[in-house]
Structure 1
Amino acid sequence: MPTPNESGWKRSLYCGELRKTFVGRRVVLFGWVNKHRDIGHLIFFDLRDREGMVQIVCTSDNREVLTTAKKLRMEDVVGIKGFVKERDEKDKNAQLPTGEVEITVEEIRLFNASDVPPFQIGDPSSASEELRLKYRYLDLRRPSMQNNLRLRHRASMCVRNFFDRHGFLEIETPFLTKSTPEGARDYLVPSRIYKGRFFALPQSPQLFKQLTMISGFDRYYQIVRCFRDEDQRADRQPEFTQIDVEMSFPDQEEFFDLNERLMEEMFALADIPVKRPFLRMTYEESMERYGTDRPDLRFGMELTDLTEQGRSVQSRIIEGALAEGSRLKGLVVPEAGGMSRGQLDRLNDEVKASGGKGIIWIKRTDGFKSSLKLEEEDFLKLWNKSAAQSNDLLLLVADEKNRASSILGDLRLRLRPEGPVKENAHIFAWITDFPMFEWNEEDNRFTAMHHPFTSPLEEDLPLLDSQPLQVRANAYDLVLNGTELGGGSVRIHGPGLQKRIFEA
């Protein structure tokens, strides 16, 4: 079996690099057979490598080459020697970067014959995800997959060059380490030397990067692998890569500006313009307006607080909920007045199944229709405050403040109309001033919402012992179109305060 490293078989360039300027040159190429066409006295096939494809022509002038070429099948690995020739004008392919040229073969080598592939490399619809994952090495030959990995490489280089220009040091931290308080369960690795003891794979290099600051490195980053033992979702994986950054003595605005510039450079790799500075919004404002701490700002449908209007309407249901300290929140769904009673009942059942008390709906066409009996005057109070229009649907939830907002926030995403969404928009926002603590029912104690090394806002320190749930954290998340891209915080610097947080 011939091999690619034989004398005279040194690759000249990649297939996808060939252009009209190479016409007349003798080249050596390696790659995979992508398409194969046999018309008797001529064999055409596309040779594919990581940079693209080029058309190969085998003629009857060379019987040995033609005989070998007739045996080729898709995904065979071959090498060819030949001359670059300009295609006839009628045969040029404007869809290919190499479409002006072809290679006339003088010698061909079959290095490895392929079995019939379980799916077509050029047709992603020909295989299920399960089949693609089973034959991952074939799936990764697809141009779209290769482009993804090339873009990822360019993004990694962009990150490294960016942080190098800004005085950061790339420092690797250990993978086999001790468990630290994080947001998920740890993966544990048994120690061979210390029987009965275990290492934890890091959910983030939290302690180590803080040690780099204590050690005086001032600016640290790494592109690091992290591990979290949690249920998989679209944005949750057991292992993932994150850009990890730490700075000594910065203020929040300096950190925001740095990361906004990084996003601008990274998105430029995909020719996506980024508008700076990014929007700023507190956690409280985000929950009030959008029912989530990661709002999709490409469309409106903001929530409305109707608590005051609810106090003045004649309804035992609303009156009873508000008497218990609940809030009445509303969501207007444009042009959804035609939703059927069955659809609305299913929505109500889903809300109850997720822990809510249910929803109230109001429509207005010729008159008001609702799941709640009210006088027209009371309907008008709620309808006008929400700014709903004829043929809209007004959904109401009376519940604990954040729960009411969250329920409507979920419905906002599910029921959004297709038209008003700016599909190609990329709207970034910083969400700031998160609650410092949340109540953990299982452990019957307060736990840090982000992590216990986050500092409280200075003005909230007097509330730390008496009203911990009112304390806001010096923490922030970066959100893009409803997806959390990252987050961070200003650390606690003093041991006294750190001890109080641990003991909270």
Structure 2
Amino acid sequence: MGEALNGAKRTIMCGELRESHVDNSSTVMGWVQRKRNLGGLIFVDLRDRTGILQVVFGEEINKEAFEKADTLRAEYCIAVSGKVVRRQSPNDTLPTGMVELQGEEIKILSESETPPIYIKEDLDASENIRLKYRYLDLRRPDMQKRLIIRHKAAKAVRDFMDAEGFLEVETPMLTKSTPEGARDYLVPSRNYQGEFYALPQSPQLFKQLLMVSGFDRYFQIVKCFRDEDLRANRQPEFTQVDIEMSFVERDDVMAMNERLIQHVFKQVLDVDVKLPIERLPYKIAMEKYGSDKPDLRFGMEIENISDALKDTEFKVFKDVLDNGGSIRAIKAENCADMGRKQIDKLTDFVKGFKAKGLAWIAYKEDELKSPIAKFLKDEELKAIVHKMDAKVGDLILIVSDAKEKVVLTALGQLRLQIAKELELLKDNKEFRFAWVTEFPLVSYNEEEGRWEAEHHPFTSPMDEDIPYLDTDPSKVRAKAYDMVLNGEELGGGSIRIHDSQLQEKMFRLLGFTQEQAWERFGFLLEAFKYGPPPHGGLAFGFDRMAMFLSGTDNIKDVVAFPKNQNAVCPMTEAPSIVDEIQLRELGIAIDIKNEK
């Protein structure tokens, strides 16, 4: 049975004791990491969120405390008082390794059963077990360090935004469903049966309304919700650093957010982010890296080799070029000796991205080896090698297709896969930021036969491209910008449309009738009648930011209580069946058999 504190006060955290505290009387509290009984002495490693401290109990120090210490087991929660002394055998691996606490008094605050997971760093346990016992998983030092970093990042954001004149304003969690992307999470109304609130996918409309309201500079660290199929590093509920500014243009928003990121990385990691951050127009990013979130930590850029083969008689390439397609390649340095089985695996890999195959040329010392060499003229092979700036030992990998998007996507993914297989980034601690700009405003949905917004319906087109809205929408670029870090989107935003006529034109292009537009977004359109300012903003994925700052590649490591890949919480077993009485109060009948 656990003892009460009975007035005992913690005077210092375990990980804070140093040589300067020697001869002080101190009281520490925490959990038993391990116990070693060496006969007349018992050593206990005591852990709290600041670190580990060695506590020594001896029969000569205090026999009663010594006997009680002998009953301790892992994860017992205890309070210990005593004198701080120098360790006879210092431990250089611990910040507290020069001192120890002589246990003169001990309280066992609560006992613990044998934990189902080990409380240690770099735990090798299944994700579902870790999530089921998350409160134990969170005791582990590496998990606590990550959440402390997340806290520091949030504080750094708030400090910076306050200094820049931004106001943190909360927006509603229960709002109107305006589906235009991922599915909403719906909340039934008890008072208005048959009607629903929606949890916000983002505060987008509200932050624009705050600009109409004259708040000028808004931010919020806010929960958002999207009911979509989960992929790696996605959660159904996630956190954004949401930002909006009035009377600004694109460069103003980008410059402010560059300074924000510079401040956060300096405060949390003491890392200097050099400004200005490199900018890549969307078209260039796709052509060089096959991705709108390029990883710039390594080369292997995509090259267009179509000109080198413009007169080729090789039917595969000739048909592609005759049909308006392209032939492109990447160069894997020092990979000419890659085995056929490995190349076959890479071929299967690109086929997963709709490529029909993968051609290759290995630059050996005495020859250019390739399964397509017999179909190409010597000058064509040499032209490819010259275009790729290939040297002896290099491997050229080629994809061709009538659809340029297939070529770029396949090579972009192949580039990342080879970097992974060659472990090019294994020990890379570099942070490579980039802005990707000038995204397409809209894309055409062949299945539905209509144009769709690439960002959202309120994104402003580039001024010079507005005439194309009536003639060729595919040419319209958006005043949109994404900040990319090491191949991941860190945040994205845009300048918004504030002209009501342009907004109506945009809705018409997207296939909304006037009635449909007002039904979904009427409250915003109504507000736009009353002098909206030019405005724009950006939202950072705060979970992803914390992930980078803490050096993990798993977003669940920086979320205290995440869901698993099936959007289930193994600890609380949410989602769960609710009582029939609750459903009747909401006017809801369940017509689906639950097999859970």
Same fold? TM cut 0.5: yes
Alpha-carbon separation, structure 1, partners of 2:2 and 2:471: 79
Alpha-carbon separation, structure 2, partners of 1:256 and 1:231: 31
Alpha-carbon separation, structure 2, partners of 1:323 and 1:45: 76
Query: Is the 8 Å Cα contact of residues 314 and 376 (structure 2) preserved in structure 1?
Result: yes
Q: 2:436 aligns with which of 406, 431, 451?
A: 431
Q: CA deviation at 1:395?
A: 1.7
* Matched residue, 2:496: 491
Distance change (3 Å), C-alpha of 1:224 and 1:41: same
Q: CA deviation at 1:321?
A: 1.0
2:54 paired with 1:55: yes
Q: CA deviation at 1:34?
A: 1.2
Alpha-carbon separation, structure 1, partners of 2:139 and 2:352: 44
Alpha-carbon separation, structure 2, partners of 1:130 and 1:149: 19
Q: CA deviation at 1:418?
A: 3.7
* Matched residue, 1:469: 474
Q: CA deviation at 1:123?
A: 4.6
Query: Is the 8 Å Cα contact of residues 314 and 378 (structure 1) preserved in structure 2?
Result: no
* Matched residue, 2:81: 81
SS of alignment partner, residue 482 of structure 2: strand
2:170 paired with 1:168: no
Query: Is the 8 Å Cα contact of residues 186 and 228 (structure 1) preserved in structure 2?
Result: yes
2:40 paired with 1:35: no
Distance change (3 Å), C-alpha of 1:351 and 1:418: closer
SS of alignment partner, residue 123 of structure 2: helix
SS of alignment partner, residue 335 of structure 1: coil
Alpha-carbon separation, structure 2, partners of 1:422 and 1:469: 41
Alpha-carbon separation, structure 2, partners of 1:133 and 1:217: 41
Alpha-carbon separation, structure 2, partners of 1:341 and 1:12: 66
Greater alpha carbon shift after TM alignment, 468-477 vs 107-116: 107-116
Distance change (3 Å), C-alpha of 1:104 and 1:422: closer
Alpha-carbon separation, structure 1, partners of 2:238 and 2:180: 15
Q: How does 1:242-253 map to 2 (within 5 A)?
A: 242-253=240-251
Q: CA deviation at 1:419?
A: 4.9
Greater alpha carbon shift after TM alignment, 399-408 vs 425-434: 399-408
Is there any run of 5+ residues in structure 2 with no aligned partner, and where? 510-596
Greater alpha carbon shift after TM alignment, 416-425 vs 163-172: 416-425
* Matched residue, 1:109: 107
Alpha-carbon separation, structure 1, partners of 2:424 and 2:48: 41
Alpha-carbon separation, structure 2, partners of 1:149 and 1:420: 25
Aligned partner of 2:459: which letter? T
Alpha-carbon separation, structure 1, partners of 2:304 and 2:177: 43
Aligned partner of 1:277: which letter? P
Q: CA deviation at 1:333?
A: 1.5
Q: How does 1:306-455 map to 2 (within 5 A)?
A: 306-365=305-364, 366-372=366-372, 373-399=375-401, 400-416=403-419, 417-419=422-424, 423-455=428-460
Aligned partner of 2:19: which letter? K
Query: How many residues align structurally?
Result: 501
* Matched residue, 1:261: 259
Query: Is the 8 Å Cα contact of residues 84 and 104 (structure 1) preserved in structure 2?
Result: yes
* Matched residue, 1:72: 72
Percent pairwise identity: 49
Q: CA deviation at 1:133?
A: 1.6
Aligned partner of 1:326: which letter? G
Greater alpha carbon shift after TM alignment, 491-500 vs 97-106: 97-106
In the TM superposition, what whole-angstrom CA distance separates every residue of 1:54-85 from its partner, at most 9, and x where no partner exists?
Answer: 21111113221111111001110111221222
Alpha-carbon separation, structure 1, partners of 2:124 and 2:461: 54
Alpha-carbon separation, structure 2, partners of 1:467 and 1:155: 44
Distance change (3 Å), C-alpha of 1:214 and 1:123: closer
In the TM superposition, what whole-angstrom CA distance separates every residue of 1:350-384 from its partner, at most 9, and x where no partner exists?
Answer: 33343223222222323233232212122112221
Distance change (3 Å), C-alpha of 1:348 and 1:103: closer
Aligned partner of 1:403: which letter? V
* Matched residue, 2:136: 138
Alpha-carbon separation, structure 2, partners of 1:44 and 1:167: 53
Q: How does 1:148-167 map to 2 (within 5 A)?
A: 148-167=146-165
In the TM superposition, what whole-angstrom CA distance separates every residue of 1:245-302 from its partner, at most 9, and x where no partner exists?
Answer: 0000112222112111111111121232211110011000111111111111111111
Aligned partner of 1:141: which letter? R
Aligned partner of 2:191: which letter? I
Query: Is the 8 Å Cα contact of residues 190 and 199 (structure 1) preserved in structure 2?
Result: yes
SS of alignment partner, residue 466 of structure 2: helix
Distance change (3 Å), C-alpha of 1:161 and 1:4: farther
Query: Is the 8 Å Cα contact of residues 117 and 125 (structure 2) preserved in structure 1?
Result: yes
Query: Is the 8 Å Cα contact of residues 85 and 101 (structure 1) preserved in structure 2?
Result: yes
Root-mean-square deviation (CA), in Å? 1.7
SS of alignment partner, residue 467 of structure 2: helix
Greater alpha carbon shift after TM alignment, 311-320 vs 280-289: 311-320
Q: CA deviation at 1:349?
A: 3.3
Greater alpha carbon shift after TM alignment, 91-100 vs 210-219: 91-100
Q: 2:238 aligns with which of 224, 237, 240?
A: 240
Alpha-carbon separation, structure 2, partners of 1:124 and 1:461: 54
SS of alignment partner, residue 471 of structure 2: coil
Greater alpha carbon shift after TM alignment, 323-332 vs 20-29: 20-29
In the TM superposition, what whole-angstrom CA distance separates every residue of 1:202-221 from its partner, at most 9, and x where no partner exists?
Answer: 11101010010000000000
